[in-house]
Amino acid sequence: MRVVFGAGARAELHGEIERLGARRVLVLCTPARRDLAGSVASVLGAKIADTFAGAVMHVPVEVADAARRVAADAGADCCLGIGGGSTIGLAKAVALTTGLPVVAVPTTYAGSEMTPIYGLTEGRRKATGRDERVLPRTVIYDPELTIELPAATSVASGFNAIAHAVEALYAPDRNPIAELMAEESIAALARALPQIARNPRDLEVRGEALYGAWLAGSVLGITSMGLHHKLCHALGGAFDLPHAQTHAVMLPYVAAYNACAAAPAMARVARALGASDAPEGLFDLGRAIGTPRSLAELGLRATDLDHAAELAAANPYGNPRPVERAAVRLLLQSAFDGRRPSS
């Protein structure tokens, strides 16, 4: 894959589409991002075959099917996803069954654009998989496109990226290069997010956050996911909780759950944060930048916790500490209450 990075990099879009030999491009975005997507894609002129502005969180299968039909009807030979994880996830879902190449123009810090991981939600259950067909051929990072992203959305999205890096540090298939990239990602985002919260229009800081997100997505793409991602996928798919905000709430508690079984990884997380304890440092960072602090704040009900624990414990992802239902239920209770975690 190719990565084009820098302020104004969206100007390279036409050349990157030409490089792929594409002639009929399907533009994908959310309803809220239709104007931005149209502005970015306008450089393609007659190469735009159609626009599908129906991307939503967690990629419901019916939305993916609708986008595939539009791609077929338009005779598209390329998918252009302009937006956050929902849009790029939809582009991947189209590519999964059609084989169309994907060009991604991220406007958040989700990191999905750097991975061969896809997710689809059906019947209130979100399933993920890996397939090289969904890995974007080109990613264009332009920090100017993130300037208008509200501060609250920005910092939650950045916390989502930090979660990718934290789990990469204790993944069973980690390697020294991935560990270096993960620690650098956490440090870059921990520097950038508080400044974005204070001044969302600082272009240099926006660029540093995209740099951290690129690193986080890269290590997510080459390592396995653990309990944190399983919990967030279960909560998002079953209860329709907002994706990035769920990551922001859950990460300190999952770090505390795994701390005793992944001490070297937690030491690197703490060092990147400039904290003495990783779970507490993550919690304090979230509080400082204003991300939601509890599952209750996101709208989850206390009566949902038992079902959430069952979903997380069923077919668990690899994790340094065994995933036991009773222990996960306690973890979820702490996250529901918003209690301060600790190693």
Residue 153's pLDDT is what?
94
What gap in Å lies between CA 85 and CA 91, rounded to an integer?
10
Q: Does residue 201 share a domain with residue 223? A: yes
Looking at residue 276, the DSSP 8-state letter turns out to be S
pLDDT-derived band at 321 (thresholds 50, 70, 90) equals: very high
What gap in Å lies between CA 125 and CA 238, rounded to an integer?
6
Residue 337 scores a pLDDT above 80: yes
Residue 317 scores a pLDDT above 90: no
Split into its structural domains, the chain has a count of: 2
Looking at residue 318, the DSSP 8-state letter turns out to be P
Q: Does residue 157 share a domain with residue 142? A: no
Residue 198's pLDDT is what?
96
Q: Residue 137: inside a domain, yes or no?
A: yes
pLDDT-derived band at 161 (thresholds 50, 70, 90) equals: very high
Q: Residue 329: inside a domain, yes or no?
A: yes
- Compute the Cα dihedral for 157, 242, 126, 329 and give only its sign: positive
Nearest of 127, 82, 104 to residue 238 by alpha carbon:
127
Q: Does residue 116 share a domain with residue 58? A: yes
Element (H, E) at 104: strand 102-106
Q: Does residue 224 share a domain with residue 127? A: no
Contact call for residues 218 and 274 (beta carbons, < 8 A)? no
pLDDT-derived band at 308 (thresholds 50, 70, 90) equals: very high
Q: Residue 295: inside a domain, yes or no?
A: yes
Domain harbouring 128, CATH code: 3.40.50.1970
Q: Does residue 130 share a domain with residue 20? A: yes
Mean per-residue pLDDT for 143-167? 96
Q: Does residue 94 share a domain with residue 12? A: yes
Domain harbouring 293, CATH code: 1.20.1090.10
pLDDT-derived band at 343 (thresholds 50, 70, 90) equals: confident
Residue 193's pLDDT is what?
98
Give, in degrees to the nearest 5, the angle at Cα 154 between 151 and 159: 125
Mean per-residue pLDDT for 283-290? 97
Residue 316's pLDDT is what?
81
What gap in Å lies between CA 169 and CA 251, rounded to an integer?
13
Residue 239's pLDDT is what?
94
Q: Is 322 exposed, middle or buried (0-12, 13-18, 19+ CB in 10 A)?
A: exposed
Q: Residue 77: inside a domain, yes or no?
A: yes
Q: Residue 182: inside a domain, yes or no?
A: yes
Q: Quickly tell me which residue has 């996101």 as its tokens.
A: 298
Q: Does residue 156 share a domain with residue 76? A: no
Q: Does residue 243 share a domain with residue 266? A: yes
Q: Residue 342: inside a domain, yes or no?
A: no
Q: Does residue 106 share a domain with residue 22? A: yes
Residue 342's pLDDT is what?
79
Residue 280's pLDDT is what?
97
Residue 93's pLDDT is what?
97
Mean per-residue pLDDT for 123-143? 93
Q: Does residue 304 share a domain with residue 223? A: yes
Q: Residue 246: inside a domain, yes or no?
A: yes
Last residue of a domain, one of 146, 180, 205: 146
Q: Residue 125: inside a domain, yes or no?
A: yes
Contact call for residues 108 and 82 (beta carbons, < 8 A)? no
Q: What is the pLDDT of residues 174-187, one digit of tens each?
A: 999 999 999 999 99
Last residue of a domain, one of 116, 146, 176: 146
Residue 219: give the domain boundaries: 151-337
Q: Does residue 312 share a domain with residue 235? A: yes
Q: Does residue 122 share a domain with residue 156? A: no
pLDDT-derived band at 286 (thresholds 50, 70, 90) equals: very high
Mean per-residue pLDDT for 127-148? 95
Last residue of a domain, one of 117, 146, 175: 146
Mean per-residue pLDDT for 122-138? 92
